[in-house]
Amino acid sequence: MTRSRDRGTESFVKELAEQNKAFWVGRDVRLDADAPPEVLLSQIRYRMRQGVYNELRSVELIAAWIPTVREREIRELLPRQLEDEQRHYQLLRQRLRELGEDADAYEPLPEWQALFDWLVACRARPTVEKLAMFQFAGETQSCEGFETLIRLAKDLDPETAHLYRTQILPDEYRHAAIGRQALLLLADTPERQAQARAACREMNVRVFGTYQAHRARSDRKG
């Protein structure tokens, strides 16, 4: 890999991160910062219920992808991510229990199920695409989403905000960094860069559709 190619890849990754960030402006509709406190708290609870499912499916997803990631530098980072997601699942489930809820009784939103089913099926796609989708685009948006959740939950449910801030968010930043690292390593030709860009776009559009469905159901059911 030449020095000029290194610089080219770095600026590509930086540009793609900016494009993803621009896509998400105003699009994470899961929480409404202007809602009355009781409505916002019920939106936060709904996020947590669905979050238990999402963390568990993330474990399954990483487990499904590991055998297909042949690039050793990337593959060796994934078992720790799997463990993190498993821990997040347990922590969120436990927190809901403390709040008097049976997390296992929650019926996950079909759109989230479909999103994870699709991601699992993407295991056959090249590593540069998979990691662009889930770790680079998805986990980066998750970090933004958690930052918002923590900020809005800080006064309404400080214990939950503390859990997300100290036990979950730092791991999610590390997961997003795995995506960045994968692209820096693999998105080193115009063809691979085009693949990575298209994969991010595909993921963002799908996740946005899921967020819209999530909010609609959260508004209906609380």
| Sign of the Cα pseudo-torsion (89, 82, 168, 21, in order) | negative
**Is residue 88 within the footprint of Fe ion (CB under 5 A)?**
yes
CB of 84 to Fe ion, least distance (A): 6
CB of 13 to Fe ion, least distance (A): 19
Q: Is 22 exposed, middle or buried (0-12, 13-18, 19+ CB in 10 A)?
A: exposed
CB of 4 to Fe ion, least distance (A): 33
Nearest alpha carbon to residue 218 among 77, 111, 114: 111
CB of 199 to Fe ion, least distance (A): 17
Q: Which is nearer to Fe ion, 175 or 192 (CB)?
A: 175
**Is residue 85 within the footprint of Fe ion (CB under 5 A)?**
yes
**Is residue 57 within the footprint of Fe ion (CB under 5 A)?**
no
Q: Which is nearer to Fe ion, 126 or 138 (CB)?
A: 138
Scored b (16 or more CB within 10 A) or e, 59-90 reads: bebbbebbeebeeeebeebbeebbebbbebbe
CB of 134 to Fe ion, least distance (A): 8
Among positions 57, 175, 192, 214, the unique one binding Fe ion when judged by CB under 5 A: 175
Token digits of residue 117: 């089913």
CA-CA-CA-CA dihedral for 207, 212, 217, 222, to nearest 10:
100
Nearest alpha carbon to residue 61 among 48, 73, 78, 41: 78
Q: Of 50-58, 71-79, 150-158, 189-197, which segment contacts Fe ion by CB under 5 A?
A: 50-58
DSSP letters for 37-53: HHHHHHHHHHHHHHHHH
Backbone angles phi, psi at 36, to 5 degrees: -60, 155
Q: Of 23-31, 69-77, 88-96, 189-197, which segment contacts Fe ion by CB under 5 A?
A: 88-96
- Build a one-symbol-per-residue string for 134-173: x at contacts with Fe ion by CB under 5 A, - elsewhere: --------------------------------------x-
Residues that bind Fe ion (CB under 5 A): 55, 85, 88, 172, 175
